[in-house]
Structure 1
Amino acid sequence: MKSAMNYSCLLCVLVLLPALCHCQDSFTPSRATYYGSPDCYGTPTGACGYGEYGRTVNDGYVSGVSRLYRNGSGCGACYQVRCTKPQCTGDGANVVVTDYGEGDRTDFILSPRAYAKMARPDDYQTKQLFAYGVVEVEFRRVPCRYTGYNLMFKVHEHSKYPNYLAIIILYVGGTNDVTAVEYWQEDCQEWKPMRRVYGAVFDSQTPPNGPVNLRFQVSGSHGATWVQPKYALPGDWKAGAAYDSQMQLD
């Protein structure tokens, strides 16, 4: 099957019809399980550092991942995950990565809400799926869509104005991974890198005074590029506050 798929992709290139080649849409086999949650949503203590956003984003259809975590750059990525049991639907669940986790040879540890979404809409079928504990699945990367939301910069609660600034980038649309963040140092007239503390959290021990102009590097289907929002963090930024970038990624 794999050889036939590779040959099909090569044929697409040879006849110069890339629009007909859908290799990027192919699924990868794996395994998935679920974690306990009192309300079936995500957890606010996930390794990506999202806090409450990691519990409720995408209506709680979220997941911890293992190798797809990619040292934190995989945080915020969206995947379609569908299981192969008779109790499962063909669509499965679209989930957002908000945590790191390892299971029994699994790539995905889904919130109970996301795990149930893979089942046919029948209580008996859902209970059977949960009884398996671990199921064979297939997955693929899909664009994140946040209708009504621009990309946001949240100032982490551990930030200490004005001497320590940590930020988290939320609602990253498309199939983009945030791989680096920098801020503009006016007196030096240069961009300074922020450190990836863990997950999706970036910080600086010496943030500039006044408004903080940020730019971030995204790696997606069009390669790596730097993106600079038009709006800076205000000079009186506050820990725990979220600021609208007035832009979104495709």
Structure 2
Amino acid sequence: MALPLKALFASLLAIASTLSDLRVATAAVAHHRSSSWRHAAHRVAGNRMHYHHPRRAHVHSGNHHSPAKHNRPKFAPGPWKQAHATFYEGGSGTFGGACGYQDVVQQGYGYQTTAVSTAMFNNGQTCGACYEVKCVDNPQWCQLGQPSLFVTATDLCPPNYNLPSDNGGWCNSPREHFDLAKPVFTTLAKDYTAGIVPVQYRRVPCRKQGGVRFTITGNPYFNLVLVSNVGGAGEVVSVQVKGDKVPWTTMQRNWGQKWETNAMLVGQSLTFRVRASDGRFTTAWHVAPPNWQFGQTFEGKNFK
């Protein structure tokens, strides 16, 4: 009887070992699945937060109707910084040059505009950003006691590397500099003979009348959309368009705040989605009717 008992005992040990291994394997699978789900959830959240680079056209599936909402806080004023300010000649049709704003008065900016140095321009992304500027540390030329000047960045102050940065090359990198529209320079300085004045400045929320404006130009094979009068952060980092037959399509920044796509949009009601530099977005649903024409401007919901 001894042999059968030994065999039985060995069989029981084998069964126990198998059950132990099964429990370990089951736990490992459960851990792996949990980890994979967490990873997948992270990827989904990451994709919802991903802002498509404006220079890479991308067409989304028509099933993606709206990005996840994150209840981001409203854009708040930034820290005060030091810079200098000059002025430049021009008119309503020229003060919006490098940003694509054909007429700053018609676009809602008035003459409270400024060109910014290359270090601030950020390849056109800064177009539309708003600043509070005040003259400081120069009683001879500053308008002491005057309220701050609030301006929108609508142009580029190009560098001049033939001149030193502290003597004529005011907009050379890495200097942060404001070249104000001439009509508003004397809000800060006593008169134009001041030439250049030291200033303090900070980013502030843009407060615009009306909604975000979309001016459509181009032709049936090339759509160029100027996005203007943007409130909140003011800076636009991504624009998407959707038609009745065309799914969400990410437009590319052409220059300034002009955005392009070769999607066939003629004859369709158009919806635009604008994402600002603070991560917030606004969607202008069916802002352009199916019979829209090139050269027309449409106004959608603005950032609050």
TM tier, shorter chain? Answer: 0.7 to 0.9
Higher Cα Rg, which structure: 2
> Structure 1 stretches of 5 or more lacking a match?
1-22, 120-125
What SS is found at the alignment partner of 2:89? coil
Contact persistence 1:42–1:111 (CA under 8 A) = no
What SS is found at the alignment partner of 1:144? coil
Alpha-carbon distance, 1:45 to partner: 5.5
Q: Which amino acid aligns with 2:264?
A: P
Give the alignment partner of residue 79 of structure 1, picking from 131, 144, 151. Answer: 131
Matches within 5 A, 1:61-210: 61-66=112-117, 67-84=119-136, 85-86=138-139, 87-89=142-144, 90-102=146-158, 103-104=169-170, 105-119=175-189, 126-127=190-191, 130-147=192-209, 149-156=210-217, 159-160=218-219, 162-184=220-242, 187=245, 190-209=247-266, 210=268
Alpha-carbon distance, 1:233 to partner: 2.0
Residue 242 of structure 1 corresponds to: 297
Runs of 4+ displaced beyond 4 Å: 185-188
What SS is found at the alignment partner of 1:53? coil
Classify 1:193/1:63 alpha carbon distance in 2 versus 1 (closer, same or farther; 3 Å). Answer: same
Distance in 2 of aligned mates of 1:182 and 1:115: 37
Distance in 2 of aligned mates of 1:24 and 1:143: 6
Distance in 2 of aligned mates of 1:174 and 1:226: 10
Contact persistence 1:42–1:56 (CA under 8 A) = no
Residue 60 of structure 1 corresponds to: 111
1:25-81 CA-to-partner distances (Å, cap 9, x unmatched) read: 5310011111113x5x57256100010136874321100112221111111111011
Distance in 1 of aligned mates of 2:194 and 2:178: 15
Distance in 2 of aligned mates of 1:44 and 1:238: 27
What is the root-mean-square deviation in Å for CA atoms of aligned residues?
A: 2.4
Classify 1:153/1:185 alpha carbon distance in 2 versus 1 (closer, same or farther; 3 Å). Answer: closer
Distance in 2 of aligned mates of 1:56 and 1:192: 25
Alpha-carbon distance, 1:187 to partner: 4.9
Contact persistence 1:54–1:98 (CA under 8 A) = no
Distance in 2 of aligned mates of 1:42 and 1:29: 29
What SS is found at the alignment partner of 2:110? helix
TM (norm. structure 1) is: 0.74
Classify 1:72/1:56 alpha carbon distance in 2 versus 1 (closer, same or farther; 3 Å). Answer: same
1:163-197 CA-to-partner distances (Å, cap 9, x unmatched) read: 22111111111224210111226557x42211100
Q: Which amino acid aligns with 1:95?
A: V
TM (norm. structure 2) is: 0.62
Classify 1:218/1:45 alpha carbon distance in 2 versus 1 (closer, same or farther; 3 Å). Answer: closer
Distance in 2 of aligned mates of 1:92 and 1:187: 48
Distance in 2 of aligned mates of 1:94 and 1:56: 16
> Structure 2 stretches of 5 or more lacking a match?
1-75, 159-168
Contact persistence 1:33–1:106 (CA under 8 A) = no
Aligned residues: 209
Alpha-carbon distance, 1:145 to partner: 1.4
